[in-house]
Amino acid sequence: REGNKNSNLPTIVGIVVLFDTVTGLPKCLFNGGYFTALRTASGCAVASLLRCKKENMKSLMIFGGGAQAKIHAKIMQYLFVFETVVICNRSKVNLNEFKYNDNNNVETKFLYVHSDDEEDVNSFVAQSQMICTCTPSTFPLFKGSFVSEGTFINAVGSFKNTMRELDDVLLEKAFVIADDKNHVLETTGEFKGKKEESVHASLGQLLVTEKEEIDWKKKTITVFKSVGHSAQDLFFASKAYQILKE
């Protein structure tokens, strides 16, 4: 609902309902937009922890200025100590909304770059150890050739065949993880027409594999592509409900 911006209302509107498995009655209602953003960022956090070493995470770059971007920024700052956080968006944003406020003892520099400033965007991409693409786009947000070895990319913005946020150059040199392999192959523009082998593993597969036994295909760049998974919704809703009850 892009028109909602004019009324200072959320553009993603929905309700998540958790039902009792015995009675069939609703137990809890969640704000769909916030729930989806928090669940998505949490999935990215799990994927990131599989491969990212905390001591190597110096710079975080976020594409987008909405709820997904803000929550991804805060959760990643909770997990990793970044020296620099760069927010790339089409319009100016309030950088304070991207800060994880409990990190008061950490001197993190926050920067803004306009998405049309290609030279600066590519420069910051090259300097980042983690990139989160959190905005719906119909074209790649940056050139994959600028991504440095060892970078981890959380890609959550595109979810239709007509959308894409990453280019083929990046996908060809990255180890690609999907939250749902079949769904990613069938619905996202990045993987439209590509072979099944273009997605190397699902997040679930990696979580049940010992870290030292994971075959990263000699690739140091990692892409986690997330389009949403019902199992994550169910677990997250159940866990949130338990916390609220306590």
What per-residue confidence (pLDDT) applies to 110?
Answer: 94
**Selection from 62, 187, 66 nearest residue 113 by Cα:** 62
What per-residue confidence (pLDDT) applies to 14?
Answer: 85
Q: Do 98 and 122 form a contact (C-beta atoms < 8 A)?
A: no
Q: Which residues of the chain have pLDDT under 70?
A: 102-106
What per-residue confidence (pLDDT) applies to 105?
Answer: 56
Provide the residue type at 46 as one letter.
V
> How big is the CA angle at 127 (ends 122 and 130), to the nearest 5 degrees?
100
The helix (run of H) or strand (run of E) holding residue 243 is helix 230-245
What per-residue confidence (pLDDT) applies to 102?
Answer: 62
Q: Do 189 and 238 form a contact (C-beta atoms < 8 A)?
A: no
Query: 199-234, pLDDT tens digit by residue?
Result: 999 999 999 999 889 999 999 999 999 998 888 888
What per-residue confidence (pLDDT) applies to 6?
Answer: 80
Query: 94-115, pLDDT tens digit by residue?
Result: 898 998 876 555 689 999 999 9
The Cα–Cα gap between 36 and 32 comes to 6
Question: What Cα–Cα distance (Å) separates residue 139 from each residue in 101, 142, 148, 164?
Answer: 33, 9, 21, 5
The Cα–Cα gap between 207 and 29 comes to 29
Determine how many CB atoms are found less than 10 A away from the CB of residue 32: 15
**Count of helix runs (H) and strand runs (E) in the chain:** 7, 10
Residue 233: φ, ψ to 5°:
-60, -45
Question: What Cα–Cα distance (Å) separates residue 152 from each residue in 16, 61, 74, 156?
Answer: 30, 11, 17, 13
Which tokens go with 188? 């996202």
Q: Do 76 and 152 form a contact (C-beta atoms < 8 A)?
A: no
The Cα–Cα gap between 223 and 157 comes to 13
Provide the residue type at 190 as one letter.
E
